[in-house]
Structure 1
Amino acid sequence: MNGAVMVNISSSAAVPWLAESSERNGSLQYSAAPLGFPVNPWDIMLCMSGAVIACENAIVVAIIFYTPTLRTPMFVLIGSLATADLLAGVGLILNFVFRYVVSSETVSLVTVGFLVASFTASIGSLLAITADRYFSLCNALTYFSDETLRCAHAMLLVTWGASLGLGLLPVLGWNCLGEPRACSVVRPLTRGNLTLLAASFFVIFALMLSLYARICKIVCRHAQQIALQQHFLAATHYAAAKKGVSTLAIVLGTFGASWLPFATYCLVGQREYPAVYTYATLLPATYNSMINPIIYAYRNTEIQRSLYLLLCGCFRPSGAYRSRSPSDV
């Protein structure tokens, strides 16, 4: 099929991304193309996803930043997640611009590193949120202490430090620009680099599943205690905890459905495979960053009220809006 395409299209009018696919089918190319040439529709969809992701998460970041009552550990972690997703959306837009406007391998490496760091920080923030939900159920009485806030800051420090380190690897030399045969399904990342990223994802996903299983056990144990005591306040706390667990289930399910195809393909894919396979698995992965703010905006009452306040001033922030349960996310 590639031969027929190359026969019908002269070298002077060949579509750059199509020609590149015939040479290294499995690699997403980050070289630029003149604006006069057709644009890869997959790149357009990735850019559009980036625009939506950036807009959605910018609103969440603004809400948390400008609302004094949203200073609890859980909202600090949500802010980290929104910031990481915001940067990922900006990175997708920049990748499109630099690929078709600026012809520079250095810029391409920086853009790839930026995307790797952003998406890694997003995944790490989801793990931190899951751990925070677990700690909140185990230590509900002391959750709003300064120690919990310091623990949240420590988790964010580790998350962003590791993400920055992984993002710098391609820029510091772990890339395949000098050795095309070492390229993975995502150029210019080497197969070893991409395997490391995929393995890190599976480790994080396994930890999230383990923590979620522990959370479910705690909620079930609380339900048994409530059934024996029939205490109104306990039932109220259980309802809040149940809401938090259901939110985690949605986040975890969305996270797995979005990232598992791409992470699996990173391990089994070869650079000779058609580039459409990489695009088809990478695009759904970006949807996780698109869905995260929707989940938090529509399921958390405080964020909803703060959003109304930010947009139209319909509500005024007060102490009554402060979350009374650490599991109310």
Structure 2
Amino acid sequence: MTLDTVSILYISAEAVVGLTSTVGNAIVLAAILRTRRLHTVTNVFIGGLAVADIAVGLAVAPLAALSFTGRPRNFYGCILVNSLILVFTNVSIFMLLAIAVERFIAIKKPFMYQRMLTLRRAIMINVAVWLLGTALGLVPLYGWNTGNYNIKRCTFLYVISLDYLVYFQFFGVTMVPFSLMLGIYGYIFIIIRRHSRQTHAPHKSIRHSVEDVNWQKASETTINHILNNDVRVAKMFVLLITLFCLFWLPIHIFNCLLYFCSKECKFNHEALLVAIVMSHANSSINPFIYPTSNSSIKKAIKVMFGCNLSAGQSCNCVITDSNHTTIHRSSMRSTLGAVHIHKLSHDSHRDS
């Protein structure tokens, strides 16, 4: 395979990734912004993740293709071009971590959720994530670079230091947040399983009125519905994290091999380019995950494109999935409270 053929294939792949990432995430972001019922804390973070993916499509993929041609031939310009992918990668990682923490609070502390995480605070967290991701991604500009000032051809590894990529970017910025996310989601599923067991546990044989029985069934149905939604939303974000790891792991493995065994190991240039395209392609996959895992976003996208929903799919139906936190949390609180009151009244009646 000639170098010209490789160049054409690589630049074409980056162009396709850039287009699909920009269009797909723009559709998701527009659906969230246009639909008032989607203005929830969880969707604020999904929107922030979509913005980062749009930036990858608009800037990173074209700039990666530009860098592949050896431009720009200015040292700091070359560092800036190659650091942008690190900026948007960091934003995506920290946004996924913020979502994991938000899900943890929603499930672990449902009564405190609305008070702790308002839309305003979620937006402020988004801004903080962008500032942090930008600051860490631009570290090579501050001085942690190769110092090859006499640049003749701009390439990623000619200006970006491998020890920065391996120790700081991979082990620090990437592995630490993902370890935290793994622990958080593992604990979330333990909590959900525990609640599910408690809900389905056999009740003591106590005489209840018809109203009490109906109320108990209704409350259990509501709680089960919330728990099922929590599981579904958590699974969606676990899928996003898993895909992020799968798409980014190859390029990190290449960086580690280049750093630890550059002399002993042999590297295939085409395989390295495939790993680079895969890391960028992750941003074009996410917009397909949101609507398939979140019926609310899927309905909003259909409405946005003028699709006529059937009566069974009316746009006025209750929004579930990630949005149940704002719609159902208060009802959950009143339901659990009422169940507790009924239990106390039965206990006092039985004691008397």
Band the TM-score falls in, shorter-chain normalisation: 0.7 to 0.9
Instruction: Find the residue that maps to 2:39 and give its secondary structure.
Output: coil
Which residue of 2 is the match for residue 24 of structure 1? Answer: none
Q: Which amino acid aligns with 1:141?
A: F
Deviation, 1:150, is 4.8
Cα distance change on mapping 1:100 and 1:285 into 2, 3 Å = closer
Which residue of 2 is the match for residue 223 of structure 1? Answer: 196
1:243–1:327 contact (8 Å) kept in structure 2? no
Deviation, 1:226, is 1.4
Cα distance change on mapping 1:66 and 1:146 into 2, 3 Å = farther
Which residue of 2 is the match for residue 71 of structure 1? Answer: 39
Which residue of 2 is the match for residue 155 of structure 1? Answer: 125
Residue of structure 2 aligned with 1:302, choices 289, 296, 305: 296
Larger Rg: 2
Number of residue pairs the alignment of both structures matches: 295
The RMSD of aligned alpha carbons is 3.3
TM-score (norm 1): 0.77
Residue pairs, 1:256-275, within 5 angstroms: 256-270=245-259, 273-275=267-269
Residue of structure 2 aligned with 1:120, choices 84, 90, 93: 90
Residue of structure 1 aligned with 2:62, choices 93, 107, 124: 93
Residue of structure 2 aligned with 1:62, choices 16, 27, 30: 30
Residue pairs, 1:108-187, within 5 angstroms: 108-145=78-115, 147-176=117-146, 178=148, 186-187=157-158
Which residue of 1 is the match for residue 209 of structure 2? Answer: none
2:229–2:324 contact (8 Å) kept in structure 1? no
Residue of structure 2 aligned with 1:280, choices 274, 284, 288: 274
Q: Structure 1: which 5+ runs fail to align?
A: 6-14, 19-35
Cα distance change on mapping 1:166 and 1:184 into 2, 3 Å = farther
Deviation, 1:81, is 0.3
Instruction: Find the residue that maps to 2:114 and give its secondary structure.
Output: coil
1:244–1:327 contact (8 Å) kept in structure 2? no
Q: Sequence identity of aligned pairs in percent?
A: 22
Cα distance change on mapping 1:303 and 1:279 into 2, 3 Å = same
Larger helix share, 1 or 2:
2
Which residue of 2 is the match for residue 234 of structure 1? Answer: 223
1:64–1:79 contact (8 Å) kept in structure 2? yes
Q: Which amino acid aligns with 2:285?
A: I
Which residue of 1 is the match for residue 346 of structure 2? Answer: none
Instruction: Find the residue that maps to 2:146 and give its secondary structure.
Output: coil
4+ runs of 1 displaced by more than 6 Å? none
**2:236 aligned with 1:250, yes or no?**
no
Q: Which amino acid aligns with 2:251?
A: F
Deviation, 1:55, is 1.4
Which residue of 2 is the match for residue 203 of structure 1? Answer: 176
Deviation, 1:326, is 6.4
The CA deviation string for residues 130-150 of structure 1, in whole angstroms up to 9 with x for no partner, is: 221111101223423464435
Cα distance change on mapping 1:283 and 1:157 into 2, 3 Å = same
Residue of structure 2 aligned with 1:212, choices 181, 185, 195: 185
Q: Structure 2: which 5+ runs fail to align?
A: 204-216, 329-352
1:136–1:326 contact (8 Å) kept in structure 2? no
